[in-house]
Every structure is written in structure tokens, then in C-alpha cells.
Amino acid sequence: MSKKLLESIQFPEDLRKIPREQLPEVAKELREFIINIVAVKEGHLGASLGVVELTIALHYIFNTPEDILVWDVGHQAYGHKILTGRKAAFHTNRQLGGISGFPKIEESNYDAFGTGHSSTAISATLGMAIASQLSGDLTKQHIAVVGDASIASGMAFEALNHAGVTNTNLLIILNDNAIGIDPSVGALKEYLTKVNLDKTPDTDNIFEALNFSYFGPIDGHDLPIITENLEKLKKIKGPKLLHVITKKGKGLQQAEQNQVTYHAPGKFDAKTGEITQKDTSHLPPKFQDVFGYTLVELAKSNKKIVGITPAMPTGSSLKYMMKEFPERAFDVGIAEQHAVTLSAGMATQDYVVFCNIYSTFLQRAYDQVIHDVCLQKLPVIFCLDRAGLVGQDGATHHGIFDMAYLRCIPNLTLVAPRNEIELRNLLYTAQLGLQQPIAIRYPRGRGNILDWQRSFKKIEIGKGETIKKGSEVAILSIGTMATEVSQAINLIDTSRKEKVGHYDMRFVSPLDKSLLHAVFKEYNTLITVEDGVISGGFGSAVLEFASLHKYKNDITLLGISNHFPEHATTSQLKDSEGLSSEKIKEAILNKL
Ligand SMILES: Cc1ncc(C[n+]2csc(CCOP(=O)(O)OP(=O)(O)O)c2C)c(N)n1
Ligand SMILES: CC(=O)[C@@H](O)[C@H](O)COP(=O)(O)O
Ligand SMILES: [Mg+2]
């Protein structure tokens, strides 16, 4: 058997030694390599398969890492990682102690800029290109690879607007596969489709109107065509954009045909592409589905309800409402800032707006939350999915800051249900008519309750619940951390267990002051437990309360200390952050 070409490649300099006509064979091997490992280790699949040829061509034609290559989002950079020194480590992708699923500046000098959140690549690359210009380096190339859904985001447009009046060596590769995680949306998507079908006269070219030299569209799976175009572009000065048409999931039939599922399919058969089926019928629901199905239920009787998602209809399960009430559910694309202010606008007109955003992505719309929603006391209902530790996506995606960054905003109610039923009841309560905005945070994954579709009950705003009474140590938990706390208490022997009380505080803002006064008076020792950063979070709120009321109790805060947790399973992460039931038990025993 002939030796595989990929075996000879550790770094792009090895790739560049391979004759150009053999590059399609490298592409075939690289695809197989990605499929074989992702099939077992899981991760993002379709996006990387779609850019195999592009990845090879970029490293072949440009002198990376001297020429700078930035991947937007970075979920498509598996081929890039494999060709830049991480082939042997690729089986550790997204695992504890392994390489990151996204480009990471400290992982390799080929990862010019860390990513995970979308639409940052043009700004970052432009920054590098301007820096090169200032340093007098006029030959270095600066390349940003951006997807069709990501380029429609506000940040990308801001960068295009700036880049167009520079004379930098900036090359944007628009990787247009007409889909994000879900199908791309909006007028720009329609425009790109027209360009692709050659139905737009050149004078209308939107990128040329922004002073870019525009090239394409070209077939992004045809290596001779891509390499030829990149060679040509190397010699052209100033900002330029190459429009490349690719197919997400290219090379794996199932992934090409079912692009949404194969964005990140979990385990699958590398040969057939068949996803390893798990029987989930006996499992409790995912929190996202509790949101999605409950919203449909509520929207049936409350005609004022609308749902908004920035590009995550599948991940958030807003897709159920989009199917049932297409005129009242909106996917606005990767546009978190717009999603928030759009919600504010609709709320002024007395619509009951459920704006569902992953906790980590709401970070991008912080000013809109403060300035457009909370300052005006508009009763937008924020549903923050993926709050807490999310697992293998790692540092860029953990939803661990929301309690700290939202709790300080006046007029905003901040609540974390401890289970599916509470989430359902909070969604119900929120649409009954609130006088101010509310943020409901809940985690990735499943809960514990099978019969969660019970009749609705109103939840009193600002009221916590006593789960278990004790005498010496009170545990104050927020959200689904209640489960770990209950398990921790159950691990303690009966005589000491009785001394431990457990309170689900539910609301981070407003705090349940009467419950807190009672707890501070009954117990000497308090432990707060949260799946968020300690600085400024829920435990900090309890400390502020203690200070204000001059309580001198012993208080310990459990949560995430001042660092960025990496990628690993959520249970591994909970353990390393001191938030597993075992670690919480130890913290309790230390106090007994
Ligand atoms: C700010 C932000 N919002 C949402 C996401 C979630 N997300 C990850 S990939 C993706 C779609 C990207 O689509 P596109 O840019 O077309 O790349 P493709 O997956 O098609 O390669 C989305 C919405 C994100 N990473 N960052
Ligand atoms: C790259 C990205 O941002 C998304 O694909 C993200 O990984 C989705 O996360 P969930 O799997 O939690 O929906
Ligand atoms: Mg796309």
C-alpha cells in the first residue's frame, strides 16, 4: 500500500513540498482523518468538512504563520489544526487536557487569534494588517475566513466599513455555504444567493460598494481553481474579498444531506455516517425543550407572545414555535445586539417578547440590555440557555458570567429555576404580565424530572424555597446547583445530615430578604453554591446582604474562581471547580 500523503505532513512547510496535482489526494485523506476522529470523539463536523480544500489551499499558497490566517468562529478549523502541528493530538480535541475545539492563541503560533464567538475575524485581522502597515511591513498577507451567516453580523459589517477606507493587505475569504447552524437568514443571504446564481449585475456588488476588490464566486472544492485565485490575490494590494462557494458536510453524504444535524452530530459511524442512536425516551427532557414546548403551549392561548432567537432556532428549541407560529417567531441571524433591541421595540408595543439567547452570547449585547431594555423598564423576557458550565466548547462558551453581569442592573429580575417544572412555571409567570424585564437562566442538557408537563403554577417574584431544614450549616443554592447540593447532603451520615439546611434561593435579584434574614438568624455557617463566577455573582450578593445588615456569620462561597475554565465534560469541570456533589459534601463536612 502506498504511503499516505498526510503522513508526511506535520506542518504547512511539508504540505508545500507536495506537487500541486496531488493536493486533491491530500484533501481526501484529510477529510477521512477528520471523519474518523470526530465520529468517535465528537465535535463540530460539517463546517470543517466544507473547508478542507480551502484550508489546504490557504496553507499551500500563503506563507503561514508569517502570513496571518484567522478563522471566524473557529468551529471549521479542524483541518487547519491537523496541518499545523496538531495531527497527533487531534484525538484529544475538546477533551480534558486536550487541544481546544477552536483556534487558541496559546495553543499554536498558527492560531493567530482565538475564536469561538462569531464575526470577530475581520476586525482582528484588520487590526493586524494596520499594525503591519505601521511597522512598515508591506508584504505580509492578512487573511480572515468568514462564513455567510457570520458576515451578516453587526460586528463584521463594522469591520468591513472600516477596512474599505484602508489600504491594508487584507483578504477576506467569504465561505458561503448558505447555512449557519440553521439555514442562513436575511437580505444579505438573499443577495449572496443571487450573486452565486449570477443574477446580480456587477455594479450592484455590495463589497465593491464598500471599496473591496471582489473576486468570485468560485467553487471552493476545486483545488486548482482556489489555488490559482489565491496566487492572483497575493499580488493585489488593498482590501479584497474572495467569494467561495462550499458545501457544509462535503464528502460525507449524510452530513451533506442533513446539514443542521451534522453541524455537531455526536458519535456516528465513520463509514456510513449513521448517527449512533441513543434511546432517549426514558430520559428527562433537555431544558431547551422545556423552553421550546412550553412556549408553544403558552403562545396558543396568549396571542401577544413572540419569540426571538439570534441564529439558534435548533439549539434553543425556538424552532418548535417557528414551526407552529411562523409569523410570531423570528430567527434574526447572528445578531445578538439587534435581537435585544428588537425585543425592546416589540415590548413597547405591548407584545410579550421571549428573547432566547445563550448566556455566553448575551455578553455581546450588554449595552442593549442596560440601555434599551432595563433603563426603560421594558418587560422583555430573556431566556438564557446554556447558563453555567457547558462542557467541551470550553472557555469561549461557558455561561458563567451572567449572574455577575446582570445582577447589578437596576429593574432587572434575575432568576434561575432549579428544575424543569420551575422553568416551565417561570415561563408561565413571565407571560402573565410583568412590569419589568426578567432574565431566566438555565443550563445545557437534561434535568431530572420525567413528568414535567404539569399544570402551570404562578411563582412569586423574589421568593426562594426551603428544601430542607437544619441547625448548623445552611446551604444556599441557585438554579440547578440545587441537585448537586441535595446529592451532597445525601452523602453525609444521618447524624450530621440533620444539621444541614438547604435553601433554593431561586432569585439572584431581587434576593428573598425575609428568607435570608431567617437563615442568618438560625445558622452560624452559610455556604452559597452557584455555577457562575464568584466575583460579583450570587454569593457576592449574599455577602453584600450580610454586610448591610451587619451579620457576622461564617460564609463560604462556592463557585468559579477568577479564571477561565477550559474544555472537558461538565461533570469533570464541576469536579475541578469544586462544584460536584462530592466536593460540595467535603465543603459541608469542613464546617460541621
Ligand atoms: C456571537 C455568536 N453567536 C452565535 C454563535 C453560534 N454559532 C456558532 S457557528 C454558527 C453559525 C455560523 O455560520 P457560518 O458563519 O455560515 O459558518 P458555517 O458553520 O456555515 O461554516 C453560530 C450561529 C456564535 N458562535 N457566536
Ligand atoms: C460553534 C458554536 O458556537 C456552536 O456550534 C456551539 O458549539 C453550539 O453549542 P450547543 O451544542 O450547546 O448548542
Ligand atoms: Mg455558512
Of 231, 263, 295, the last residue of a domain is: 263
Q: What CATH number is attached to the domain comprising 527?
A: 3.40.50.920
pLDDT at residue 1, rounded to an integer: 46
542 lines ligand 1 (CB under 6 A): no
Q: Is 310 in the pocket of ligand 2 (CB under 6 A)?
A: no
For residue 274, is it within any domain? no
Which residue positions form the known binding site for Mg(2+)?
A: 148, 177
Do 116 and 65 have their domain in common? yes
Amino acid at position 135, single letter? S
Ligand 3 centroid–CA 570 distance in Å is: 28
Ligand 1 mean position, distance from CA 26 (Å): 27
Residues 230 and 320 reside in one and the same domain: no
End of a domain among 441, 475, 501? 441
Tell whether 248 and 291 lie within a shared domain. no
Q: Which ligand is nearest to the CA of 147?
A: 1
Residues 475 and 369 in one domain: no
List residues forming the annotated binding site for thiamine diphosphate: 75, 116-118, 149-150, 177, 336
Q: What is the 3-state secondary structure (H, E, C) of 61-99?
A: HCCCCCCEEEECCCCCCHHHHHHHHHCCCHHHCCCCCCC
Cα 73 to ligand 1 centre (Å): 6
Is residue 42 part of the annotated active site? The answer reads no
If one counts the domains in the chain, the total is 3
Please indicate, yes or no, if residue 357 is contained in any of the structural domains: yes
Same domain, 426 and 542: no
Residue 109 and residue 254 in one domain = yes
Of 336, 420, 566, 577, catalytic: 336
In three-state secondary structure terms, 491 is: coil
Instruction: Check whether residue 144 and residue 193 sit in a common domain.
Output: yes
Range of the domain at 369: 287-441
Choosing from 425, 441, 457, the residue where a domain stops is 441
Distance CA 220, CA 176 (A): 9
Q: Contact 340/365 with Cβ under 8 angstroms?
A: yes
Catalytic residue, from 94, 240, 286, 364: name it.
364
Q: What is the mean pLDDT of each run of 10 residues along the chain (592 residues)?
A: 86 98 98 98 98 98 98 98 98 98 98 98 98 96 98 98 97 98 95 84 84 97 98 96 98 98 97 91 96 98 98 98 98 98 98 98 98 98 98 98 98 98 98 97 96 96 98 98 98 97 98 98 98 98 98 98 98 98 98 96
171 and 110 housed in the same domain: yes
Residue 452 in domain: no
Domain CATH number, residue 121: 3.40.50.970
Ligand whose nearest atom lies closest to the CA of 334 = 1
* Pair (350, 491) in one structural domain: no
Q: Are residues 212 and 324 in the same domain?
A: no
Answer whether residue 502 is part of any domain.
Answer: yes
Residues 142 and 228 in one domain: yes
Domain assignment of residue 125, yes or no: yes
Say if 451 falls within a structural domain.
no
My answer on whether 244 and 300 are in the same domain is: no
Q: Could you tell me the sign of the dihedral formed by the alpha carbons of 567, 444, 114, 407, in that order?
A: negative
Q: Is the ipTM of this complex over 0.90?
A: yes
Catalytic residue, chosen from 94, 104, 248, 506, is 248
- Neighbour order of strands in the sheet with 507-509: 329-331, 305-309, 352-358, 381-385, 438-441, 413-415, 507-509
Question: Does residue 270 lie within any of the structural domains?
Answer: no
53-105 pLDDT, tens digit each: 999 999 999 999 999 999 999 999 999 999 999 999 999 999 999 999 999 99
Instruction: Supply the residue whose CA is at minimum distance from atom 19 of ligand 1.
Output: 180
Domain membership of residue 457 (yes or no) is: no
Give pLDDT, residue 202: 60
Give the model's pLDDT for residue 281. 86
